[in-house]
């Protein structure tokens, strides 16, 4: 497998307004505060964490919809961090996004055909070809060609998300960032849309970054899962391993909140103390220490690094998880 997308120590700090004009350090909100992750061609990386932890910002950075404050973005082996103009425009074809609420990004006065053919028009596709492709795309996402003359308000939430998916696929992208694509849908519809996305991934060899605030949503679609807390990845690993053997106390707490379908496996719910701190004023040391049931002195003082915690490649950032020294590192 080859690496399609890589974030290298990427940060996004948003400037905040300050009353003190003469302070030397400008106040910032650390939405993304140093994340490194490589996404392999054809895989689905789940990205989870509470609302406000920086998931959407990370997705937008990967797509070059936002400029990083620091760090690099690589795509297909090229450093695209400073791409602009024509090179960025060409790149746009390869990477697309699906939003939580496609309604917000669909023009209410344009028909579905107009909405879907817009990106094709921008990239110079002929009218006849566009028409054919719109019909093909509607079919591929489980809608009918007679839907093409309708307007966004005429569709249900699930159908609108299918349109959002069709639009993302219009230009045959390689990477699709799915930003909470099912969070606004009824549970019964969520499964249908996720199944559709899995089928499309196979058919078109897509690579997904699938964002959700809930670990249960990404369980089955993800090959690997990364857990974010206050702008950082605190744990990442193969989905199977991470769900069955979470190492970071935050992942353990998130998983303990997922309802168990098998009552015999009833687990103890870990209740996190306190509220999520603000990314404008994060705690020193381990950012999670204010809510961690196991925190000790060192956690308040020193930020833990993401380190290998299993032979299977799982990484976690916690002072109290034993680091696994991998054979390959020794040799
Ligand atoms: N354009 C922006 N300007 C200032 N702050 C922002 C901006 N976008 C996001 N934020 C802040 O960055 C943090 C992370 O936001 P976001 O990436 O949307 O989190 P998530 O998607 O995990 O809910 C939040 O505190 C949010 O308020
Ligand atoms: Mg978000």
Judged by its nearest atom, the ligand closest to the C-alpha of residue 58 is: 1
Give the nearest ligand 1 atom to 53 CA. Answer: 22
- How many other C-beta atoms are found inside a 10 Å radius of the C-beta of residue 322? 10
For 313, left (φ over 0), alpha (ψ -120 to 50), or beta? left
Give the nearest ligand 1 atom to 180 CA. Answer: 21
**DSSP string of 36-93, one letter each residue:** EEEEETT-EEEEE-STTSSHHHHHHHHTTSS--SEEEEEETTEE-TT--HHHHHHHHT
Q: How confident is the model at residue 331 (pLDDT cuts 50, 70, 90)?
A: low
113: pLDDT strictly greater than 70: yes
Can you tell me the distance from the alpha carbon of 297 to that of 67, in angstroms, rounded to the nearest whole number?
36
The Cα diameter of the chain in Å comes to: 67
Can you tell me the distance from the alpha carbon of 243 to that of 51, in angstroms, rounded to the nearest whole number?
20
Can you give the pLDDT at residue 327? 65
Please state the φ and ψ torsions of residue 164, each to the nearest 5 degrees: -60, -40
Can you give the pLDDT at residue 205? 97
How do residues 21-68 score in pLDDT, each as one tens digit?
A: 666 678 899 999 999 999 999 999 999 999 999 999 999 999 999 999
Can you tell me the distance from the alpha carbon of 138 to that of 163, in angstroms, rounded to the nearest whole number?
7
**Considering the entire predicted model, what is its pTM?**
0.94
Mean pLDDT of the chain: 92
Can you give the pLDDT at residue 328? 63
Instruction: Find where tokens 């054979």 sit.
Output: 327
CA 235 to ligand 2 center in whole angstroms: 19
Residue owning the nearest CA to atom 20 of ligand 1: 52
**How confident is the model over 133-155, as a mean pLDDT?**
95
**How confident is the model over 88-109, as a mean pLDDT?**
90
Can you tell me the distance from the alpha carbon of 209 to that of 225, in angstroms, rounded to the nearest whole number?
9
Task: Break the chain into its structural domains and give their ranges.
Answer: 3-17+27-94+173-330, 106-169
265: pLDDT strictly greater than 80: no
**How confident is the model over 68-73, as a mean pLDDT?**
98
Percent of the chain's residues with pLDDT above 90: 82
Can you give the pLDDT at residue 250? 96
Test site for ligand 1: of 12, 18, 51, 54, most ligand atoms within 8 A of the Cβ = 54
Handedness of CA 65, 71, 75, 80 (dihedral sign): positive
Instruction: Find where tokens 């999520």 sit.
Output: 276
Test site for ligand 1: of 7, 10, 14, 98, most ligand atoms within 8 A of the Cβ = 14
Percent of the chain's residues with pLDDT above 70: 94
How do residues 281-310 score in pLDDT, each as one tens digit?
A: 999 999 999 999 999 999 999 999 999 999
Radius of gyration from C-alpha coordinates of the chain: 21
Judged by its nearest atom, the ligand closest to the C-alpha of residue 57 is: 1
CA 322 to ligand 2 center in whole angstroms: 32
**How confident is the model over 176-188, as a mean pLDDT?**
94
Can you tell me the distance from the alpha carbon of 92 to that of 88, in angstroms, rounded to the nearest whole number?
6
203: part of which helix (H) or strand (E)?
helix 187-204
What percent helix, strand, coil does the chain show, rounded to 5?
Answer: 35, 20, 45
The CATH T-level fold of domain 3-17+27-94+173-330 is Rossmann fold (3.40.50)
Decide: 27 and 21 in contact? Cβ < 8 Å. Answer: no
Please state the φ and ψ torsions of residue 146, each to the nearest 5 degrees: -70, -10
C-alpha dihedral, 65 to 69 to 75 to 77, nearest 10°:
160
How do residues 206-264 score in pLDDT, each as one tens digit?
A: 999 999 998 999 999 999 999 999 999 999 999 999 999 999 999 999 998 877 665 66
Strand ranges inside the chain, DSSP E: 3-15, 28-40, 44-48, 70-75, 78-79, 95-98, 175-179, 207-212, 224-229, 232-238, 307-308, 315-316
- DSSP one-letter code for 130: H
**How confident is the model over 140-153, as a mean pLDDT?**
95
**Ligand 1 neighbours (beta carbon < 6 A):** 14, 29, 31, 49, 51-57, 279
Can you give the pLDDT at residue 179? 97
**How confident is the model over 57-82, as a mean pLDDT?**
97
Instruction: Find where tokens 């895989």 sit.
Output: 43
Six-digit token pair at 127?
Answer: 């009218």
Can you give the pLDDT at residue 106? 87
Residue owning the nearest CA to atom 14 of ligand 1: 54
Pairing of strands 70-75, 3-15: antiparallel
Q: Residue 65: CA atoms inside 13 Å, Cβ hemisphere, count?
A: 11
């Amino acid at each position: 497998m080859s690496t399609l997308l890589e974030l290298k120590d990427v940060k996004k700090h948003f400037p905040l307004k300050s009353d003190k004009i003469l302070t030397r350090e400008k106040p910032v909100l650390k939405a993304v505060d140093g994340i490194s992750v490589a996404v392999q061609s054809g895989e689905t990386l789940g990205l989870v964490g509470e609302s406000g932890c920086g998931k959407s910002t990370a997705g937008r950075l990967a797509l070059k919809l936002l400029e990083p404050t620091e760090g690099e973005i690589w795509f297909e082996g090229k450093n695209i961090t400073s791409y602009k103009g024509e090179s960025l425009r060409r790149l746009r074809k390869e990477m697309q996004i699906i939003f939580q609420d496609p309604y917000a990004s669909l023009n209410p006065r344009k028909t579905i055909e107009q909405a879907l053919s817009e990106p094709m028009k921008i990239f110079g596709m002929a009218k006849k070809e566009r028409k054919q492709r719109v019909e093909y795309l509607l079919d591929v996402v489980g809608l009918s060609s007679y839907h093409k003359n309708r307007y966004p308000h005429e569709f249900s939430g699930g159908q609108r998300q299918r349109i959002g998916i069709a639009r993302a696929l219009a230009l045959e992208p390689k990477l699709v960032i799915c930003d909470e694509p099912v969070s606004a849908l009824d549970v019964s519809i969520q499964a249908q849309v996720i199944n559709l996305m899995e089928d499309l991934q196979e058919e078109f060899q897509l690579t997904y970054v699938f964002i959700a605030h809930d670990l249960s949503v990404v369980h089955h679609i993800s090959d690997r899962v990364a857990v974010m807390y206050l702008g950082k990845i605190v744990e990442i690993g193969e989905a199977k391993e991470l769900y069955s053997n979470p190492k970071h106390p935050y992942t353990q707490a998130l998983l303990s909140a997922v309802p168990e379908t098998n009552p015999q496996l009833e687990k103890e719910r870990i209740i996190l103390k306190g509220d999520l701190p603000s990314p404008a004023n994060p705690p020193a040391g381990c950012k999670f220490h204010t809510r961690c049931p196991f925190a000790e002195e060192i956690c308040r003082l020193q930020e833990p690094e993401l380190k290998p915690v299993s032979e299977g490649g799982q990484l976690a950032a916690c002072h109290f998880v034993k680091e696994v020294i991998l054979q390959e590192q020794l040799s």
